[in-house]
Copies of this chain bind each other. A is one copy, B any other.
Amino acid sequence: MPRGVPNEVPADGLTTRQRRHTPVLAVHTGDGKGKSTAAFGMALRAWNQGFDIGVFQFVKSAKWKVGEEASFRALGELHESTGAGGAVEWHKMGEGWSWSRKQGTEEDHAAAALEGWREIARRLQAQTHTFYVLDEFTYPLGWGWVDVHEVVDVLRSRPGNQHVVITGRRAPTELVDAADLVTEMTKIRHPMDSGRKGQKGIEW
């Protein structure tokens, strides 16, 4: 990835410094692997810059992505004990949002997803974190559980310098149009095609 020079300089009246500090909204979509893993890879950079990191996983099962979670919890603890990097908060819908008094029920994923989004909206308004991962968030958007217009409004008007990465298949067009950085991950070949099952250290 070039650290260097943009393709053109826009006539937007901003200085390079102002433009450099424009917060980024990134979307990782497509049917291939790497959407979430790339988001967590970005979070590694952000952690090293001392950014406060908030991860919100809109997955049903609390068992997914335990490897990334454990690694980031280790980095968060390192931050608390030594001051290295940034703080890390990691929240999962699948086991009930930790800030919520309600325990997530299997039946009401829609309400849980909306509750998760509303908390994120509050945190964006309060500038709680600097780097947000909204993992698998395109699914509640696609299912209509969370209103994409509201999401785009909140993201467009978020104050300060807060970066947001959203992952998941079939990102809604309105979200893609609002994003600064959109990458589509396309599957060319996957081990499960040839009958392999997932394995530790690779799939989780």
Q: Residues on A close to B: CB < 8 A?
A: 1-10, 12, 16, 19-22, 24, 28, 30, 32-42, 44-49, 51, 63-68, 70-72, 74-75, 78, 84-85, 130-131, 163, 176, 179-204
* A36 to B44 Cα, complex, angstroms: 12
Task: Look across to chain B and name the residue whose beta carbon is closest to the beta carbon of A188.
Answer: B182
Collect the chain B residues with CB atoms within 8 Å of residue A16's CB: 197
CB pair B44 A34 closer than 8 Å = no
Task: Look across to chain B and name the residue whose beta carbon is closest to the beta carbon of A47.
Answer: B71
CB pair B179 A183 closer than 8 Å = no
Given contacts A22-B196, A34-B28, A183-B32, contact A3 B74 (CB under 8 A): no
**Residue of A84, A185, A198 contacting most chain B CB atoms (<10 Å):** A185
Collect the chain B residues with CB atoms within 8 Å of residue A47's CB: 67, 71
Collect the chain B residues with CB atoms within 8 Å of residue A33's CB: 1, 38, 181, 183
Partner of A49, one of B38, B49, B201: B201
Given contacts A38-B33, A71-B48, A181-B191, contact A196 B19 (CB under 8 A): yes
